[in-house]
Amino acid sequence: MNDTVINGLYIVSAIFFVFGLKMLGKADQARKGNLISAVGMLIAIVTALVSQSVLEWQWIAIGMIAGSIVGAMAARLVAMTAMPEMVALFNGFGGAASLLVGWSEYHRYTVTYTYMDANALSLLIIILTIVIGGATFTGSLVAWGKLSEKLPSKAIQYPGQQFVNVLLVALLIGSAALFGPLRESLSIDSYLLVIATILVACILGITFVIPIGGGDMPVVISLLNSFSGMAACAAGFVISNNVLIVAGALVGSSGIILTNIMCKSMNRKLTNVLFSGFGASTASAGAGFQGEAKPVSVEDAYLMLEAASNVLVVPGYGMAVAQAQHAIQELADQLEANGTEVNFAVHPVAGRMPGHMNVLLAEANVPYEQLKEMDDVNPNIENVDIAIVIGANDVVNPAARTDETSPIYGMPVIDVDKARTVIVMKRSMKPGFAGIDNPLFFNDNTRMLFGDAKKSTQGLVAEFKG
């Protein structure tokens, strides 16, 4: 296969990637966009394999079989509640793959060239691939630990943490310089320097993510996704593969854009997310809200919903934990059969990864036209008869508007407290993932429906059917 055909097929793959990525931006086209991107990747992989004259096909077959088994098991065994953790792991594996590509390419260089004869730019790109891949790998593992609560979800801070990060970055810059413009002054074994670079990059990934609190995990996930794309792009330069460069650049740039969107949705700067230690404070952060919550039974909640003309459902991570998305869709069907208008308001950072609630609601076959963005519902929310908050906390916290001492002050939230009545489905009065009290629970127009969200929702459905 000549270079013209190969590059032509790579261009076709890139076009598939671009159109697939574009379609992912719309809920009703996301599945088709994902399929188109997968086809583009298939074309790229087949082209890359066929274009190589020397291949160890047995290792490729082993890799394909192993990857297929892992993917099938992940699709079948990983619950939707664990999707954020799985995304974090996938980001980490992407970083680890790039690290290994850079490492193996360095092996090839040491065989083909002497250290001093090797191209300095090529060595720098290899080191860049190793650094980004290593930091992405360990950083993603820490994010996985926080999301799965195998590590404390709060921000873990320690004295001099910024100094440690700066020192690690300086060491990595120094390592890159020794492989580039200063390599003639290198007095140690270059392979030892590669090992040291890998270790420092992995440590940087840990120290970079560990001080970030659980409430900022959606931003961290999108940022690590961007890092994995940049690592793949660098790996593409290392092995001179054009389509890997394009795919990595697309993932990296879209991840940065998504990170910026997440930060705007929280009314915070990326530097504030990464370095402020948000979430290190306890639930006492901000004003201490006092009052008495007003519990409501399933039967009484049914009577309220039965009389409502329009209902707004606001999902959060608690819906994912209870796996209540199918039950809430069934409740929506019952409300619509009763003549009630039903819509779903999705906050950009609801859940523990970008698009978490959209994925759950799409799985439950919630009609796309019922999914509303925060900016669409807030202007008319006073006209909502009942807002059902199912497992959401920080994204509906009115303290973001009213309490200047709150850590989330200024963050755009869904103003459910302005609806005529609010029904909050929640297991207890504990604060959300960010550990911040919510005065919404004590409002005069709020009723607390305590218990498992799925069981409570199924109880409401039973009342309608009965």
- Which residues participate in catalysis according to the annotation? 394
CA 131-49-254 angle, 5° bins: 45
Q: Which two tokens stand for residue 419?
A: 């609806």
Give the phi and the psi of residue 148 in degrees, each rounded to 5: -85, 0
Element (H, E) at 446: strand 446-450
Q: Which residues pair with 344 in a beta bridge?
A: 313, 371
Nearest to 313 by CA among 331, 294, 298, 299: 331
Taking the C-alpha atoms of residue 392 and residue 30, their distance in angstroms, rounded to an integer, is 24
CB-side neighbour CA atoms (13 Å) of 455:
7
Give the C-alpha separation, 241 to 344, whole Å.
Answer: 44
One-character DSSP codes across 94-149: HHHHHHHHHHHHHHHHHHHS-TTTS-HHHHHHHHHHHHHHHHHHHHHHHHHHHHTT
